[in-house]
Chains A and B, each alone.
Chain A
Amino acid sequence: MSAERMNLPRFAAVLLAGALFGFGLALSTMVRPEVVLGFLRFQDFGLMLVMGGAVAVTVLAYGLLPRLLGRPLLGERFHHHASAWNRDTAVGAALFGVGWGLCGVCPGPAIAGLGLGNWSLLWALGGIALGALVQGLRAR
């Protein structure tokens, strides 16, 4: 949001978008580590449907909206995050997977879990915050 100031409509838009995301995480039970670990142990393939559904909607949105609209309704331009394949991405993704396979919690559910009163997830949330801090302190 560089050079684009936060105002009430944008605040409400971001909050509502986050709420849809969080509702979806809770409805799909991705906020329960047991369900995620069950997928990773090939006992329940539900996570594929969650990812598939979310990616399908996102492909349509990212592909069509910039062609249909000149600019976002409350913003100046459609952003694009280029991802790169390099050593950091490879090592980071591999470490992320080890952690995810150990706890069954990724960043979204760790945050959304607070809305379910599942206080045990605070351990994961604290771990993620600490990991992000150490990564930043080690980075050049």
Chain B
Amino acid sequence: MNLTLSLFPLGWQHYLLGGLFIGAGVALLFVLTGLVGGMSTVFSSTWSFVVRRPFFQQARFTDSRGWRLVYALGLVLGALVWWLGFAGGAPQTTSVPVWQLLVGGFLVGYGARLGNGCTSGHGICGLGSLQWPSLLAVLTFMATAFLTANLVARWLA
């Protein structure tokens, strides 16, 4: 049995190369601006434009909301370059039901902001700066994600 094929039925090169690009983005942001580029904070900092409550008006949100939106815009542009330049611009869809996207998304947003980080904040930037609280966070969300994904597959399939 080919181990590589059983672990990576769709191939492995694009995963590794994509990961290196993601790391290069985080590294470039750091070497040029000194900023630490997790993704989930933009969802709180952008609300600070319209929500006046003290929580959203903290300096950590109001001071960073500008560059975080630019960073998010870059994310869209980078994906667009791949889509048009390397994927032929074929329409992309998902078969995941709307309610799962919406309810799952809500928990992702709530949980990432309560826990101060997501797959990129704790996963890439936190592990990248060798912080054990981030490692615990990653292990925690991996565990509940494995559990949820498998239970959902069993019940809803």
What total of chain A residues lie within 8 Å of the partner, measured CB to CB? 118
- For A98, list chain B residues within 8 Å (CB): 104, 107, 111, 144-145, 148
Residues 1-22 of chain B: 1 if any A CB is under 8 Å from the residue's CB, otherwise 0? 0000001111010111111111
Chain B residues whose C-beta falls within 8 Å of the C-beta of A131 in the assembled complex: 43, 105-113
List A contacts of B31 (CB < 8 A).
61, 65, 69, 72-73
A17 CA to B77 CA, complexed, in Å: 11
> Main SS of chain B's interface residues?
helix
Are A137 and B55 in touch, CB under 8 angstroms?
A: yes
Complex: chain B residue closest to A114, CB-CB: B76
Q: How large is the interface on B (under 10, 10 to 19, 20 to 34, 35 or more residues)?
A: 35 or more
Residue of A nearest to B40 (CB): A107
Q: How far is the CA of A63 from the CA of B130 in the complex (A)?
A: 9
Closest CB in chain B relative to A52 CB, distance in Å: 6
Asked if B145 and A97 make an inter-chain contact with CB atoms under 8 angstroms apart, the answer reads yes
Instruction: From the candidates B76, B98, B153, name the one contacting A111 in the complex (CB within 8 A).
Output: B76
- Contacting pair B96 A104 (CB below 8 A): yes
Assuming A6-B67, A27-B14, A131-B110, what are 5 further A-B pairs, CB within 8 angstroms?
A28-B14, A46-B8, A53-B15, A103-B104, A104-B104
A-B pairs with beta carbons under 8 Å apart, 29 shown: A13-B29, A17-B33, A17-B71, A17-B74, A19-B81, A20-B22, A25-B22, A27-B14, A28-B15, A32-B92, A45-B8, A50-B19, A52-B16, A54-B20, A58-B23, A58-B129, A73-B32, A82-B131, A83-B122, A83-B133, A85-B137, A92-B137, A93-B136, A99-B107, A105-B108, A123-B98, A123-B102, A128-B108, A131-B108
